[in-house]
Amino acid sequence: MTKLSKSLCVFVLVACLAFMGVAAVTSIGGANWHIERDQLTGDYTFETTLGETTTYAVKSRQTDQQLDASSKSLAATIIAARKDLVEVQKKKIETLQTETTTFTTQQQVWITLTAADEDAMTVRCDQLASELATLNQQIDAAAKQNISKVEKTQNTLRTNEARREEVYRLLAQLDEIRTDRFQINEQQKRLRDLLIRKQGVVSRLKRRQLQLVRSGARGQYEADPTAVPAVTPKTTQP
Instruction: Answer yes or no: is 81 within a domain.
Output: no
Please write the tens of the pLDDT for every residue from 108-163.
888 888 888 888 899 999 999 999 999 999 999 999 999 999 999 999 999 999 99
**81: Cβ–Cβ under 8 A, 6 or more apart, which residues?**
40, 43, 44, 46, 58, 67, 68
Our measurement of the distance from residue 196's CA atom to the centroid of its chain's CA atoms, rounded to an integer in Å, reads 90
Instruction: Answer yes or no: is 208 within a domain.
Output: no
Q: Are strands 55-60 and 66-71 parallel, antiparallel or unpaired?
A: antiparallel
Instruction: Answer yes or no: is 96 within a domain.
Output: no
Q: Using alpha carbons, list the distances in angstroms from residue 142 to 42, 91, 129, 146.
A: 72, 69, 20, 6
Instruction: Answer yes or no: is 113 within a domain.
Output: no
Q: Please count the structural domains in the chain.
A: 1
Domain boundaries, position 17: 1-30
Instruction: Answer yes or no: is 103 within a domain.
Output: no
Instruction: Answer yes or no: is 167 within a domain.
Output: no
Quick one: pLDDT at residue 173? Answer: 93
Q: Enumerate residue ranges in the chain where pLDDT < 70.
A: 1, 3, 6, 22-34, 36-40, 51, 64, 66, 68-73, 217-238
Query: What is the value of pTM for the model shown?
Result: 0.35
Instruction: Answer yes or no: is 22 within a domain.
Output: yes
Instruction: Answer yes or no: is 8 within a domain.
Output: yes
**40: Cβ–Cβ under 8 A, 6 or more apart, which residues?**
46, 78, 81, 82, 85
Quick one: pLDDT at residue 72? Answer: 65
Quick one: pLDDT at residue 69? Answer: 60
Q: Count the Cβ atoms, other than its own, within 10 Å of residue 36.
A: 15
